[in-house]
Amino acid sequence: MCYNCAMNIKDWHVHTDFSFDSTEPLENYLALAEAVGEDLVFTDHLEFSNPYSGIDDLPDWQAFCERVDKINSAGKSPHVYKGIEIGWNPADGERIREWLSGKSIDVKLLSVHNNGEYDYMDDVARGLKASDIVDDYFNNMSIAIEEFPDVDILTHFEYGVRLIDVDLEEFKQLAEAHLRRIFAQLTTHDIALEINAKSAFAYGNYELVKYGVALYKEVGGTKLTLGSDAHRVSEYRRQFDELEKLL
């Protein structure tokens, strides 16, 4: 990974029509990636028992591989890497492991979107205070990392408070001890920390993101990635010029 040359910074978090919440055909990203001289990493959702939809939301891996292999076998740039965004929940560790087993996956993201009862971005979270949710969210994140220590990247660390009105000072008070523990876990397992463009710019949490990245560096973290979390081509590499300053 290149930390200081803009040309070589990949977008490590991109969704396509293999995700339950995207309709963007993966081929639509090709020209954009080619224009910036970068390879592509697609990371569609693997979300067992998704409280948002009430079902298991899983990508059709075989069909996905066929589409990607077709692009790669044409031998043109960009190369497409096969990734997955693993959505952890407390009940489905075994089913997630079963799904992953035997598959050749280039990049694994780990996300905590829900606590087994509700997604942290469901309406139910809107009525909560930060103090109601922070311990639950980060304790789940710690468990998720220990259950899946061989992932590559931990995504959007502030997802749990996206719908909650919390300023930086309150967030620091509630979250700092948790984040120090979690960042140490990342270092132990050689997992990178993602800087998520949606966190920073779609959900107004840029201050939290900057604080988290500074804390991660303070405790010795050295692996950072940028992820647009694009669900459509217009979001690909969203505001990377700005985010690159944090690397």
C-alpha 30/C-alpha 37 separation (Å) is 10
Task: Based on the shown chain and the rule CB under 5 A, indicate whether residue 119 belongs to the binding site for Zn ion.
Answer: no
For residues 219 to 238, the per-residue mask of contacts with Zn ion, x marking binding by CB under 5 A and - elsewhere, is ----------x---------
User: Considering beta carbons, is residue 38 or 235 the nearer one to Zn ion?
Assistant: 235
Of 22, 50, 89, 111, the residue at the interface with Zn ion (CB under 5 A) is 111
C-alpha 113/C-alpha 52 separation (Å) is 10
As measured in angstroms, the least distance from the Cβ of 5 to Zn ion is 25
As measured in angstroms, the least distance from the Cβ of 225 to Zn ion is 13
- The strand pair at 40-50 and 55-57 is best described as antiparallel
Residue at token pair 């409280």: 51
C-alpha 172/C-alpha 67 separation (Å) is 44
Residue nearest to Zn ion (CB): 111
As measured in angstroms, the least distance from the Cβ of 47 to Zn ion is 9
Residues 128-187 that bind Zn ion (CB under 5 A): none
On whether the CB atoms of residues 127 and 103 are closer than 8 A, the answer is no
User: Considering beta carbons, is residue 11 or 229 the nearer one to Zn ion?
Assistant: 229
Dihedral (CA of 213, 5, 204, 83) sign: negative
User: Considering beta carbons, is residue 100 or 219 the nearer one to Zn ion?
Assistant: 100
User: Considering beta carbons, is residue 130 or 153 the nearer one to Zn ion?
Assistant: 153
For residues 23 to 62, the per-residue mask of contacts with Zn ion, x marking binding by CB under 5 A and - elsewhere, is ----------------------------------------
Query: What order of strands is seen across the sheet that includes strand 153-154?
Result: 55-57, 40-50, 80-88, 107-112, 153-154, 192-196, 224-227
As measured in angstroms, the least distance from the Cβ of 231 to Zn ion is 8
Residues 6 or more apart in contact with residue 11 via CB below 8 angstroms: 38, 40, 41, 226, 227, 228, 230, 236, 237, 240
Instruction: Name the residues that contact Zn ion, by CB under 5 A.
Output: 85, 111, 229
